[in-house]
Amino acid sequence: MSKRFNLREFQQQLLDRLQEQKSRSAQISTLGVQVGTEYWLVDMPDISEVMSLPMLTPVPLTKPWYCGIANVRGNLYSIIDFGLYMGGAAILHEGQSRVMLVGQKYAFNAGLLVSRVLGLRNSTEWKHIEQDGMNLLQDEHGQLWHKLDVPALLGQADFLQIGI
């Protein structure tokens, strides 16, 4: 009889640990990226893929932050230098730079060129700070992070108007 009770207790403990792990992994749903000297968080559901910079076809008479068009497995994506778009320096097209394909769930094929990808971040317990009229998150090491609102970005008139 005691063996059956221990087995039942073991099964309950195993179920509890699986549920705890599932809830912990659900919390980590943001990707950390570096754009120039700034750190950004992007919700994972807004990203369809992260990839190396593909071959670009330049588009004449566009704004400086518009890198060009890339063919990604038969789909055309507008590639935007996110650093330049946000008013910073241009992102070097080097080994660590990556393109985040965003907006596919919003029927908008765009890729954001970032300096490097820093990996998954769990920002649920980070401190919220308002600085210069912007809401930022501060991690446990004191680093400040911006939160990218992809739907708001895709709706900005300046983002949609690439021509000069």
Is residue 99, in this structure, part of any structural domain at all?
yes
Q: pLDDT tier at 11 (50, 70, 90 boundaries)?
A: confident
Is residue 8, in this structure, part of any structural domain at all?
no
pLDDT digits (tens, 9 = 90+) for 86-103: 999 999 988 899 999 998
Number of compact structural domains in the chain: 1
Is residue 83, in this structure, part of any structural domain at all?
yes
Question: Could you count the other beta carbons within 10 Å of the beta carbon of residue 121?
Answer: 19
pLDDT digits (tens, 9 = 90+) for 34-44: 999 999 999 99
Is residue 9, in this structure, part of any structural domain at all?
no
Q: Which domain holds residue 78?
A: 29-160
Under DSSP, is residue 94 helix (H, G, I), strand (E, B) or coil? coil
Is residue 24, in this structure, part of any structural domain at all?
no
Predicted TM-score (pTM) of the model is: 0.81
Q: Measured between alpha carbons, how far is 130 from 127 in angstroms, rounded to an integer?
A: 10
Q: Is it the case that residue 3 has pLDDT exceeding 50?
A: no
**Per-residue confidence (pLDDT) for residue 147, from 0 to 100:** 95
Is residue 46, in this structure, part of any structural domain at all?
yes
Question: Could you count the other beta carbons within 10 Å of the beta carbon of residue 27?
Answer: 11
Is residue 22, in this structure, part of any structural domain at all?
no
Question: Could you tell me the CATH number of the domain that includes residue 133?
Answer: 2.40.50.180
- 50: its two tokens: 């992260």
